[in-house]
Amino acid sequence: MSKSHLFVLFLLPFSVAAQDSSRKLDIGLALRIAEANYPILKAKKYEYEAAKRNIDLSKNTFVPSFDISYQANLATANNITGMFYPTDMIPMTGPVFTSNNYSPAIGSAASLLLNWEPLTFGQRNAKINSSKSEAATKSADFENEIFKHKVNVISAYLDLMLVQELLAVFQKNLERTLFDLKQSKVLAVTGLRPGVDTALFLSELSKSRIDLLNAEKNFESQRVVLSKLLVSDTSYTLIDTLPFHRAPTASVLEEKLSLSEHPLVKYYQSQLDWSKSKENLIGKYWLPRLNIWASGFARGSGVYPDGTIKAADGWGFSKYNYGLGFQVAFPILKFSEVRLQQQQQNFISKSDQELLNQTSLELSKQQEISDVTLRNALEVVKETPVQLSSADYAFGALQKRYSAGLVNFADLIQAQYNLVKAETDLKKSYWEAWKALLFKTAVTGDLNIFLNELR
Give residue-wise pLDDT tens across range 326-369: 999 888 888 889 999 999 999 999 999 999 999 999 999 999 99
147, 264: one domain: yes
Angstrom distance (rounded) from CA 207 to CA 417: 11
Angstrom distance (rounded) from CA 181 to CA 402: 12
Would 8 be classed as within a structural domain?
A: yes
- Of 279, 306, 329, which one is at a domain's C-terminal end? 329
179, 98: one domain: no
Would 62 be classed as within a structural domain?
A: no
277, 218: one domain: yes
pLDDT of the residue at 335: 86
182 closest CA partner among 203, 152, 202: 202
125, 135: one domain: yes
Would 230 be classed as within a structural domain?
A: yes
Angstrom distance (rounded) from CA 42 to CA 146: 10
Would 304 be classed as within a structural domain?
A: yes
Would 169 be classed as within a structural domain?
A: yes
Would 257 be classed as within a structural domain?
A: yes
- Residues 87 and 283: beta-carbon distance below 8 Å: no
The CATH number for 417's domain is 1.20.1600.10
pLDDT of the residue at 22: 63
- Of 329, 360, 384, which one is at a domain's C-terminal end? 329
Angstrom distance (rounded) from CA 381 to CA 434: 11
280, 315: one domain: no
Angstrom distance (rounded) from CA 408 to CA 412: 7
Would 56 be classed as within a structural domain?
A: no
Burial-class residue 153 by CB neighbours within 10 Å (0-12, 13-18, 19+). buried
Phi and psi at 85, nearest 5°, equal -85, 115
**Residue 183 CB coordination number (10 Å):** 18
| End-to-end Cα, the chain, rounded Å | 45
Would 356 be classed as within a structural domain?
A: yes
- Residues 222 and 165: beta-carbon distance below 8 Å: no
- Residues of the chain predicted below pLDDT 70: 1-22
What residues contact residue 359 under an 8 Å CB cut-off, 6+ apart? 264, 265, 268
257 closest CA partner among 453, 438, 446, 439: 446
305, 405: one domain: no
- Residues 291 and 95: beta-carbon distance below 8 Å: no
448, 385: one domain: yes
DSSP 390-436: HHHHHHHHHHHHHHTT-S-HHHHHHHHHHHHHHHHHHHHHHHHHHHH
What residues contact residue 442 under an 8 Å CB cut-off, 6+ apart? 151, 370
112, 240: one domain: no
- Residues 315 and 108: beta-carbon distance below 8 Å: yes
DSSP element (H, E) containing 298: strand 289-301
Plot region of 231 (φ>0 → left; ψ -120 to 50 → alpha; else → beta): left
Q: Give the distance, in angstroms, between the CA of residue 117 and the centroid of all CA atoms in the same chain.
A: 40
Regarding beta strands 65-75 and 319-329, do their DSSP bridges make them parallel or antiparallel, or are they unpaired? unpaired
Q: Which long-range contacts (CB under 8 A, 24 or more apart) does 39-44 make?
A: 39/231, 40/145, 40/149, 41/142, 41/145, 41/146, 41/149, 44/138, 44/141, 44/142, 44/145, 44/146
DSSP 317: -
281, 341: one domain: yes
- Residues 114 and 66: beta-carbon distance below 8 Å: yes
265, 321: one domain: no
- Of 307, 329, 351, which one is at a domain's C-terminal end? 329
391, 430: one domain: yes
- Residues 356 and 137: beta-carbon distance below 8 Å: no
| 3 state SS of 238 | strand
Angstrom distance (rounded) from CA 281 to CA 287: 11
What range defines the domain where residue 169 resides? 3-37+120-288+334-453
User: Which strand ranges, in their side-by-side order, compose the sheet holding 105-119?
Assistant: 65-75, 105-119, 289-301, 319-329
127, 266: one domain: yes
413 closest CA partner among 394, 390, 386, 426: 394
162 closest CA partner among 244, 220, 242: 244
Rounded to the nearest 10°, the torsion over CA 181, 187, 188, 189 is 120
Domain count, the chain: 2
